[in-house]
Every structure is written in C-alpha cells, then in structure tokens.
C-alpha cells in the first residue's frame, strides 16, 4: 500500500490536550515526544528518571519532569490531568544488558503497576504500553530460519527470562484494566527498534547501533577487524524509529485494538552477518570478522508476522533496512567523532 493510500489517523484529541510520555529521555520515548510536537500538539509532558542533561532529546515547549516512576506518588504526579498516556519507561537495553541484569529489568513491573493505577485514577482516555517481542515463546525461536511470530505465539508462555516475563505480565495488567475497569489500553510488541538519537555505546545499545559503532571504530583506529557476538547466523527483524512512532500513534487510536497485543515490527529478516555487511557497505570498508561464541546472543531467530497489523491498520512498518541503517550509521558517526574531538554527547553507561 502506498503512503497516499494509507488511512489517516483519527485522534479524539484537541491540540492542547495533555499527552504524557514516559521514558521520554530515552530513544523511543524522546522520538515519540518529537513526533507529537511536530504534529502540532502543544501540551506534552515528558517524563524520565534520568537527569535532564542526559536525555537524548528535549522538546522545546514540553514540560520535562525527572521522576522515578517505580514510586506510586511519582506516577500520580506524572499523569495528573493527562488525556493520553504513552508508557515507555523501562529499565532495558540490548541483549548484553537484558541477559545480565534480569532483576533490574523485572523491577520495571513496579513502573507498569503504578502507572496503570495512576492513569485509571486520573481518568486517562487512552493508555499505551510498549511491550516487546521478547515475550514470545523461546521454543519457537531456536532456528535462524524461524517462521514469523504471530500474536498468538505468546502462549503457551515461555518468554525470555527477566525482561520478557516482565513485559508479558504488564500486558496482562493492561488487559485487566480494560476488562474490569474499562480504561482503554493499547499494547504494541516492539521488534528491535533502531535509528538516530538512540543508545550507541555503553552497554545498553542494540545490535544495529553496536555494529555501526564497531565498524566506525575499526575504520578510525585502523584495526580493520570486528568482533561479533555469537556466530553471526542469528536473525532478527529491525524496525526503523519513524515506523515505530507512526505505528504507536496508529495503534493507540484504533478502538478495535483495545487491550489487544499487536506486533509493531518490520517483516524483513536480517542475519547478524548480513547486518555487518550492510554496515561495511555504508562505511565503504571490509573488515576481518571474529566471533565471540560466549557473548550474549539471544534466541536464534525472530521475525514479525504482520498479518494482524495490516488487517487492522492497512499499514505495516516499511522502511527498508539498508535505508534505515544508513541514516543510523551517519548519525552515530557524527556522535563518535564529536566525542573524539572533546564535544559532549549523550551516551548510556551501566
């Protein structure tokens, strides 16, 4: 379907209604705040635990709050007078983080429990929750040539330990707040979102950003080699950030999707070795590849079945991976050399 044929988003929002976005100091949350700002919404409350100087994006005119949303009183403050809430607050990162810090990932259940109750008490019209493809049954993801995962593949449950189980529990909370209390909740299962203005160093970065950084470093320091986690055969679908923010908006404003988990991901399957090849092509370099078979690698394969999202929205994420990675690589390259020259850049650290 061409862009001209895509149905416009119909929002029951006034331009000055309060939109609350949590996790707004991070990659997706900050991009979503910018997305709504660019649409002309004038009352955005951006919330994150990190100090303001460490936010990836700060939107001019937004109300920026530093709050620890694992505490109920902070959630009450965050959603006060809100019309719509987009909860993207979570302690997470790439595979290296979520495999090593399972307790921290699971503690995000405090955020989700308190945010739902505070939003209900505040009379919020629509509540969006950012779930993850990590909720899917790991037994279905043991082959790089994995079949695409449809929404029903979450059960019988065998999610990734820590982060995946926490997300699956939060999905159930969202569904019960609709079933029992009639608060409209919306749930998107993200598939490996990447793009500019995200984490690219420090341990929380995901594979596209990590590989881009490693290629840039190898070119810069002249080593001409790259270390790859796993054997390179692992496969994933990667979702460009602009597709993600548009998808969040579309999903949250379709009542047929109330309390219905839905994939938000590209269906273009890419192996890690292929990812490296694309980054090398962008960087105009060829590197010797070394493989760390003891590093975190996650499941063998994961892809998004987009049957439901196409049925409900007449749309699916469509940015080609090469196109999205080129933009990501260029941004990370700018950040890398800015940091090297002594300029201050935002980066995550463990």
Note whether 22 and 147 are same-domain residues: yes
Rounded to the nearest angstrom, the gap between the alpha carbon of residue 52 and the centroid of all alpha carbons in its chain is: 20
Number of domains in the chain: 2
Q: Are residues 56 and 152 in the same domain?
A: yes
**251 located within any domain:** yes
CATH number of the CATH domain containing 293: 3.90.25.10
Structural tokens at position 87 = 């909860």
In terms of domains, do 57 and 138 share one?
yes
CA 235 to mean position of chain CA atoms:
18
Q: Are residues 64 and 146 in the same domain?
A: yes
User: Which pLDDT score, from 0 to 100, does residue 97 have?
Assistant: 67
**Claim to verify: residue 188 and residue 47 sit in the same structural domain:** yes
Is residue 112 domain-shared with residue 230, that is, in the same domain?
no
Query: Are both 20 and 91 inside the same structural domain?
Result: yes
For the chain, the average pLDDT equals 93
Based on the fold, state whether residues 105 and 29 are members of the same structural domain.
yes
Q: Determine, yes or no, domain membership for 202.
A: no
Joined tokens for residue 94: 């790439």
Q: Is 16 exposed, middle or buried (0-12, 13-18, 19+ CB in 10 A)?
A: exposed
Whole-angstrom CA distances from 164 to 27, 54, 94, 98, 168 are 19, 26, 13, 9, 6
Q: pTM for the full model?
A: 0.94
Q: What's the rounded mean pLDDT across residues 327-339? A: 97
The tokens describing 229, both together, are 């986690």
Q: Which of 232, 217, 243, 213 is nearest to 321 (CA)?
A: 243
- Please indicate, yes or no, whether residues 80 and 217 belong to a single structural domain of this protein: no
CATH number, domain containing residue 188: 3.40.50.720
Asked whether residue 316 carries a pLDDT value surpassing 90, the answer given is yes
- The pLDDT value recorded for residue 203 is 81
Q: Are strands 44-48 and 63-66 parallel, antiparallel or unpaired?
A: parallel
Check whether residue 164 and residue 231 sit in a common domain.
no
- Please tell me whether the peptide bond between 156 and the residue prior to it is cis, using omega within 30 degrees of 0: yes
Contacts of 194 by beta carbon, 8 Å cutoff, 6+ apart: 206, 208, 209, 238, 239, 240, 241, 324, 325, 328
| Domain shared by 226 and 136, yes or no | no
Question: Quick one: pLDDT band at residue 349, thresholds 50, 70, 90?
Answer: very low
**Portion of the chain with pLDDT greater than 90, in percent:** 84
Please determine, for residue 62, whether its predicted confidence score (pLDDT) is greater than 70. Answer: yes
**pLDDT band (50, 70, 90) for residue 102:** confident
What pLDDT was estimated at residue 204? 81
Q: Answer whether 31's CB lies under 8 Å from 197's CB.
A: yes
> Would residue 141 count as lying in a domain?
yes
* In a domain? residue 2: no
Q: Is the pLDDT of residue 177 over 60?
A: yes
Residue 307 lies in a domain: no
Tell whether 309 is covered by a domain. no
Round to whole Å and give the CA distance between 128 and 183.
11
Radius of gyration of the CA atoms of the chain, in A = 19
Residue 230 is assigned to a structural domain of this protein: yes
Cβ atoms of 127 and 173 closer than 8 Å: no
pLDDT in tens, 116-164: 999 999 999 999 999 999 999 999 999 999 999 999 999 999 988 888 9
Question: Which residue segment(s) compose the domain that 244 sits in?
Answer: 16-194+239-264
Q: Which residues are catalytic?
A: 163
Sign of CA dihedral 154, 156, 160, 161: positive
The tally of CA atoms less than 13 A away on the side-chain side of residue 18 is 17
- The whole-number pLDDT of residue 202 equals 84
In a shared domain, residues 116 and 243: yes
**How does pLDDT run across 222-252, given as a tens digit for each residue?**
999 999 999 999 999 999 999 999 999 999 9
Out of 38-42, 219-223, 294-298, pick the least confident.
Answer: 294-298
| Residue 11, in any domain of the structure | no
pLDDT at 347 (0 to 100): 59
């Amino acid at each position: 379907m061409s862009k001209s044929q895509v149905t416009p988003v119909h929002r029951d929002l006034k331009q000055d209604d309060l939109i609350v976005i949590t996790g707004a100091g991070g990659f997706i949350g900050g991009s979503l705040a910018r997305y709504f700002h660019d649409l002309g919404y004038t009352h955005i409350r951006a919330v994150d635990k990190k100090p303001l100087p460490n936010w990836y994006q700060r939107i001019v005119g937004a109300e920026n709050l530093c709050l620890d949303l694992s505490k109920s009183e902070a959630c009450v403050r965050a959603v006060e007078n809100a019309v719509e809430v987009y909860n993207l607050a979570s302690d997470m990162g790439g595979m290296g983080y979520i495999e090593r810090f399972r307790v921290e990932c699971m503690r995000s259940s405090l955020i989700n429990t308190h945010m739902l109750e505070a939003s209900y008490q505040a009379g919020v019209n629509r509540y969006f929750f950012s779930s993850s493809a990590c909720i899917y049954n790991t037994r279905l993801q043991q082959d790089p040539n994995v079949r695409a995962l449809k929404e029903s593949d979450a059960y019988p449950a065998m999610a990734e330990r820590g982060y995946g189980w926490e997300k699956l529990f939060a999905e159930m909370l969202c569904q019960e707040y609709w079933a029992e209390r009639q608060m409209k909740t919306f749930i998107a299962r993200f598939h490996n979102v990447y793009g500019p203005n995200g984490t690219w160093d420090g341990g929380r970065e995901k594979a596209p950003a990590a590989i881009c950084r490693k290629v840039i470093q190898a070119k810069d320091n002249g080593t001409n080699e790259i270390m790859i986690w796993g054997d390179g055969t692992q496969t994933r679908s990667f979702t460009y950030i602009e597709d993600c923010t548009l998808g969040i908006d579309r999903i949250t404003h379709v009542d047929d999707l109330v309390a219905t988990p839905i994939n938000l991901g590209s269906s273009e399957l890419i192996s890690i070795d292929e990812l490296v090849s694309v980054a090398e092509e962008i960087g105009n370099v060829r590197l010797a590849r070394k493989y760390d078979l003891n590093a975190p690698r996650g499941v063998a394969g994961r892809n998004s079945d987009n049957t439901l999202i196409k049925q409900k929205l007449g749309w699916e994420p469509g940015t080609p991976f090469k196109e999205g990675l080129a933009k990501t690589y260029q941004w990370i390259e700018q950040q890398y050399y800015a940091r090297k020259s002594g300029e201050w850049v935002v980066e995550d650290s463990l």
